[in-house]
Amino acid sequence: MSDGREGTAGPLSVAPEPVAGHGLLTGRKAVVTAAAGTGIGSATARRLLSEGADVVVSDWHERRLGETRTALAEEFPERTIGAVVCDVQSTEQVDALITGAAAELGRIDILVNNAGLGGETPVVDMDDAQWDRVLDITLNGTFRCTRAALRYFRQAGHGGVIVNNASVLGWRAQYGQAHYAAAKAGVMALTRCSAVEAAELGVRINAVSPSIARHAFLDKTSSSELLDRLSEREAFGRAAEPWEVAATIAMLASDYTSYLTGEVVSVSSQRA
């Protein structure tokens, strides 16, 4: 007998192919943090490009960032694609990212705050360095990037959009994830409060809250047993594909959500 937690077999248990772009962001200029590699960040950059935007991708890992930019440029030769190395733990590097991206693209319309760091350590075994690093990258990094973008938008005077990457762990409990959950709950609160402040600048700020999106980097940082178990408990019996989260980010960045701000949109098939 089922305990009600297992996923449901059916058409949606197999990940669909990515949906083609529809020009939702034609002419827009975007910055995406933590965009190197195979995760949500690179998928978001690809989705924004497919929707007609020009994009600057950023990450702290220079080689992976360069490889990502090269791959995107080959896929979207008609788009402007820049790359700026940035560690979101550094205010100076974050400020330089926004300044440099605005110079390369001519302006910035969209910022996607994707940088974050997880882990799996019970509180009783966690040291200060583990706690501080996750909070500094995931929450403080989002704050630094949001602050720099809002200062840019205030000076530019043309409005803009910020989309943050939160997590369902900002709402739900999971063993060994106290630091990550606390950071993502902070991202949610930052989203709500900064959105109220940003409204007078003509800037919308929202967040996505994925349950689990499976990609190569996640498999390196979490046990396959845990990821398999979490995936199986999703309503569709599988994890999200990174592009499925990226598609929601693109929607939030577009004019289709012009009256939406301060909201956290769950990208999840997980049962309550």
The set of catalytic residues is 180
Q: What residues are paired with 165 via a beta bridge? A: 208
Q: Give start and end residues of each alpha helix (H) in the chain.
A: 40-50, 62-75, 91-105, 128-135, 141-156, 178-198, 216-221, 224-232, 242-253
Q: Are 91 and 14 in contact (CB under 8 A)?
A: no
- What secondary structure does DSSP assign to 176-188, as a single string? T-HHHHHHHHHHH
- What secondary structure does DSSP assign to 53-90, as a single string? -EEEEEES-HHHHHHHHHHHHHH-TTS-EEEEE--TT-
Which pair of structure tokens corresponds to residue 93?
């590097």
Q: What residues are paired with 215 via a beta bridge? A: none
Q: Compute the distance between CA of residue 120 and CA of residue 128 in angstroms, rounded to an integer.
A: 14
Q: What is the CA radius of gyration of the chain?
A: 18
Q: What residues are paired with 264 via a beta bridge? A: 207
Q: Which residue has the tokens 């309550």?
A: 272
Q: Are 158 and 201 in contact (CB under 8 A)?
A: no
- For 57, phi then psi, to 5°, come to -100, 150
